Structure 1
Amino acid sequence: MTFVSTMRITVLTFILGLLAACGTPTGEKEPPLPMGDFLLGHNIVIADDAQAGPLSRKADPDDWEAALKEAINDRLGDYNGDHYFHIGTHVDAYVLAVPGVPMVATPKSVLIISVNVFDDRTGKRLTDKPKQLTVFERSEKSTFIIGSGIRNSKAVQMRNLSRNAARLIQRYLLENPEWFGLPPRVVREVDDPAAAASNN
């Protein structure tokens, strides 16, 4: 990981991480959003070269892949359109908050992923480059005062991050309604204060 990448993760984790305390619990079941003719095809997650940021617990790539695949399938796998779209997710970097970080009141977890979307009919990627998404943890337990690393285990943090990643992937898809035969702006935005997006 480069120095710039390390600093980016650090800043996202300890400054912007306060946003993660402001969302609704990840366990809440949300009503389905219209997705036009979307039908989830291949759901591929690669985490082999994921970089752990500073002050992070280490996670097995297989665990990241399993958690993200499950979350994406739970979020997008029930749509029954007639046009397959394949989603490829690459885990770029992460921080899984550790307990007892000195001088930090509320350590937070963060996940950085890159997403590619492929049209099954044409066999082509829908964008010239991947969409990079930065995801913050929202917790089913309050971590505003004591921090995610103290209240949540590594597995719980990964689950929360993966669910939020799936939510943000769906928001990215819905920012491009023409892909799914939807007119512009007919679907309410999947608004998530615990997540952010940036072009890579």
Structure 2
Amino acid sequence: MAYPISQAADITAFKAECVPVGDDQLPMIEQTNEIVHKMNSLLPTPVLRHCKAMLSDTSRLPGIDGSAKMSKSLGNTLHLSASEETIHRAVSAMYTDPKHLKVSDPGKIEGNVVFTYLDAFHPDKAKVAAMKAHYQAGGLGDRVCKNELEACLQELIAPMRERRAMYMQDKGELMAMLKRGTERAQGVTQGTLRGR
């Protein structure tokens, strides 16, 4: 019972107006707004803000094995700190259309994890649309699609992995950054609690 209150506190403490969530979190946003409404009705002047859910076109990524849930315990995740080799292995193992046996066969993009990830991360949406049409018509193999996705993910993840490695080399500076962030967050939340 306390968990929804904790989530609402995390959102309202920072006066969030838009909250990026997956579609499975919409009830949590609705409940947060109910809590905000009730709390504001008990105060002389409203202090807390209502928020809206911000959904992306891909509001939930499936596991790389095609299961609906991505989970570390299931081993079907792709971490932002993943090495080039780990990314290669993960993309190579990604679930595609099991009935797309030959390159010439028409393929299904619904439920095809490679296309779900291309939709989410590839910067050239026109290229992805053309690949989808080609795949559905036949003549485009899974390996070509996976190579395109791997190149996209390698380019996206490499700078994050490098920054993470850099910060991990200086744990003192990392802790100082966390401390500064905590102090800044405490200032914002104290202002919210004081009605500012």
TM-score for the superposition, normalised by structure 2: 0.25
TM-score for the superposition, normalised by structure 1: 0.25
More strand by share: 1
More helix by share: 2
Based on CA coordinates, which of the two structures has the bigger radius of gyration? 2
